[in-house]
Every structure is written in C-alpha cells, then in structure tokens.
Amino acid sequence: SPVHWAGDQDSTWDAHRSVLKAVLNTGISGIPFMGWDIGGFSGEIPTAELYLRSAAFACFGSIMQYHSEFYDHRIPHVDRTPWNIAERTGVPEVVDIYRYFAKLRMQLLPYIKKEAENCCKTGEPLMRAMFIDYPDDPKCWTLEDQYKFGRDLIVCPMLFEGETEREIYLPEGEWYDFFTGKEYAGSSLYNINVPLNRIPVFSKRKSLIESITLPEEVNR
C-alpha cells in the first residue's frame, strides 16, 4: 500500500492538531498509511516545544520524518533538523530528546512491520480512530485527540502549547504504561503528567513493552 502525506503544514499548533484529524479521517476512508513533516514544513521554524511534541507523535506514526521548504540555504536556516531547531531556539536538549525518540522508533520497527502487514491484509489503518476497535464503547466515538497505533497501542499526543498534562481514556481491559509498565484499569479517564521527553502511550499487552528496550532516559 502507498503512503499518503498530510500536506505542507505551517509550523503552528493549529497545523499540528490538523495532522491528527487528517490521519484519522483518511484512515476511516480506506487509506492505511499517512505521514507528515515533524514540526511542520512551511514558514518560520517551530518552537522547541512544538517540534518535540510533533517528534514524539511521529515516533508512533506511519512515517517519522522531518523536512522543510527550500530556502536556497540562506541564513538563518529553516531546516527542521533537530540541531538547527536546537540552535535557532536556544534549547540544546532538543537534540537529546529527539535522539531518544529516534532510537525508540528503531525499537518499534518489528511491531510496526507486523502491524503494517496486518493493514495490508485487512485494509485497516495503522493509525486508527478509537471506535474502529471499540465500536460498542460510546466514549470511543467522541475521541478526536487519541488513537490506536496498530492493534495493541493507544497513543495520546500533546496538542496544545504549554500543555504539561492531559486527559486520556482507556477502554475496557487492562492497560500498561508503555514507558513505566504501570497498570491501569480500562473504561476509565485519567489525567497524565507529560514532560517534554514523554508522550502518553499504553499497551494492551505487557509482553509487548517487555520486548522493547527503551533508550537511556533523557532528563527534562
């Protein structure tokens, strides 16, 4: 199956939020894989916060890629490389945190490959609206700010500037924090604290997170 693209977004929080809406809508329209440019593609560079929230989001997406419009190498550069974002914003930890998610992405590849193969066989999207897997849960029909990544993971990206915690919903069953292994009961709402080096992700299978070696933690 081909990979579709979300378009050439500006580096704004509104555009960041629009990516998730685009991905979920195309998924239920029969397009299984869709990507975007981390932190946006056009205009002024993203803030360090927007860039890192978008990078964490892309780590749990079909494609993890940064890219920017062409400015003929004029100074200041608008490249969306982590080192340019770090230099331009004056936030050096952008490089370390991005490296963490890049390494984590490599650890996720066996899971992503398995789930992508399932998408090719079934036509299901890789990044999927919650109601696809939980059609009998009324709450899952109202969720627009979190998604299933494959059949086992729930991902809850950070979508607003200055947001350090957010509400997440876990459907029926037992769920495990992808990063800590902490167990959560399903059919419940939770408020989760989310520093810049983290994204709320929950696994339906504890064996999945036990099979993944997390990169060395980045303090933030």
- Per-residue pLDDT reduced to its tens digit, 174-208: 999 999 999 999 999 999 999 999 999 999 999 99
| pLDDT value at 27 more than 90 | yes
| pLDDT score at 67 | 75
| pLDDT score at 119 | 94
Confidence band for 220, pLDDT divided at 50, 70 and 90: low
d(CA 185, CA 211): 22
**Each residue of 71-102: pLDDT tens digit?**
767 777 778 789 999 998 999 999 999 999 99
Long-range contacts (CB closer than 8 Å, 24 or more residues apart) made by 89-93: 89/45, 89/47, 89/48, 89/51, 91/48, 93/196, 93/218, 93/220
Q: Please give the angle made by the CA atoms of 131, 52 and 130, to the nearest 5 degrees.
A: 5
**Each residue of 119-165: pLDDT tens digit?**
999 999 999 999 999 999 999 999 999 999 999 999 999 999 999 99
Residue predicted with more confidence, 64 or 217: 64
| pLDDT score at 219 | 64
CB contact at 8 A, 197 and 218 = yes
Confidence band for 6, pLDDT divided at 50, 70 and 90: confident
Angle between helices 48-59 and 13-27 (to 10 degrees): 20
Residue predicted with more confidence, 1 or 148: 148
Rg (CA), the chain: 17
| pLDDT score at 23 | 94
